[in-house]
Amino acid sequence: MSRPGTLLRIEFIKARKRPALWLTLGVFVFFTVVTVLPSLMRAMQGGGPGPPFALPWIWRGVLQPPINMGPFFLGAAMILLFAPEFGWKTARQNVIDGLAKEHLFFGKLITFALLVAAFFVVPIVTGVAASIISPEPTGTFARGPELNHMFGYAVVLCLWGSVGFLLAATIRASGGALGIMFLYFLVENMVTSIVPAWNPALERYLNFLPTQLFDTLTRIEFYYPDALALANEQRAAMGQRLLEFPEYWAVVSAVLAYVALFMGVSFVTMRKRDL
């Protein structure tokens, strides 16, 4: 059998009966449905203000909080499916049974890709289903801004997935890796809220830290000019600073660079360290 086929099969056998995976995915599906339901109910009762709850406008209502927490769930799932292999010494046994250390990396890369696909498909399917149920008139699947939004969401899934991957490959224990992931999230947010007050010139660079990129890519205002105009109108009225974002492709490229970096470091770590 070819190696990719072997790797896919063993990852499938391992994941299939892993309660932690189904629990994480289940909680995510639950959040997705809970997010979509109120909007769907409103639409069925005649609709509210703002764009209709139907394709293609539906995406800004689906890919919004708390579904934007999906990447975190993905990072957690990645850690749970990867890190314990060190504690159980099954990574070791897989190599003894005939895999190379590099194969371990590629096996987990397959899991990573499948997780991204799953966490991407859940809100998309939910959105399409909601649109079918919703009585409001349905248009095309997605236009430019919606496609950017979806792609941005997929990219941010990869970002936290690669963070989970890196932490699993280096910390090698799920408790520690999960702890550090959430701690990092908190610390980065603290730093980015304190530092600009102290040195405003640094803010531009801080915007390119992982959590800030994540924040940008999960904001509706980043994708939809009308939403940005509305938000800034309100901010202006309240005397707040207006929202400003970097270029779409600058943000996406920065995230992809992080993903490449984290995966690269993971690969080297996996290859070098003893099991």
Partner 1 sequence: MPDSPVIQTFELSKQFREVRAVDRVSIAVERGQVFGFLGPNGSGKTTTIGMLMGIITPTAGSFALFGASDAKGHLAARARVGATLETPNFYPYMSGRDNLRVAATIKDVGSDRIDECLEIVGLAGRGRHRFRTYSLGMKQRLALAATMLNDPELVILDEPANGLDPQGMKEVRDIIRILADRGKTIFLSSHLLWEVERMCTHVAIVRKGQVMKVGTVAEIVSEQVRALVRVEDTGALEAALADYPDATGVQTTDEGTVVSLKSDDLAGLNRYLAARGIYVSHLARHQQTLEDAFIELTQGDYGSMTEIAS
Binder among 33, 180, 206, 275 for partner 1 (CB under 8 A) = 275
Q: Give the shortest CB-1-to-partner 1 separation in angstroms.
A: 6
In one-letter notation, the amino acid at residue 269 is T
Per 3-state DSSP, the chain is made up of helix, strand and coil in percentages (nearest 5) of 80, 0, 20
Cβ–Cβ under 8 Å, residues 75 and 171: no
Show the binding pattern over residues 76-105: x = contacts partner 1 (CB under 8 A), - = does not: ------------xxx-xxxxxxxxxx----
Burial track 100-125 (b if 16+ CB lie within 10 A, e otherwise): ebebbbbbbbbbbeebbebbbebbbe
CB of 95 to partner 1, least distance (A): 5
Q: Is 274 in the site for partner 1 (CB under 8 A)?
A: yes
Only one of the segments 11-19, 112-120, 158-166, 218-226 lies at the binding site for partner 1 (rule: CB under 8 A); that segment is 11-19
For partner 1, which is the closer residue by CB, 244 or 274? 274
* Residue 232 touches partner 1, criterion: CB under 8 A: no
Cβ-based nearer residue to partner 1, 241 or 272: 272
Using the structure block, give the residue that is written with the tokens 């966490």.
119
- Confirm or reject binding of residue 14 to partner 1 (CB under 8 A): yes
Site size toward partner 1, by CB under 8 A: 25
Which is closer to partner 1, CB of 97 or CB of 244? 97
Q: 143-150 long-range CB contacts below 8 Å, 24 or more apart?
A: 143/56, 145/223, 145/224, 145/225, 146/56, 146/59, 146/60, 146/223, 148/223, 148/248, 149/59, 149/60, 149/63, 149/220, 149/223, 149/224, 150/59, 150/63, 150/120, 150/124
CA angle 116/121/125 to nearest 5° reads 170
Window 101-130: residues binding partner 1 (CB under 8 A): 101
Report in angstroms how near the CB of residue 174 gets to partner 1 at its nearest: 13
Q: Tell me, residue by residue from 37 to 76, as one string, x for binding to partner 1 by CB under 8 A and - for no binding.
A: ----------------------------------------
Q: ∠ CA(207), CA(118), CA(8), 5° rounding?
A: 110
**Positions that interact with partner 1 (CB under 8 A):** 1, 6, 9-10, 13-14, 17-19, 88-90, 92-101, 272, 274-275
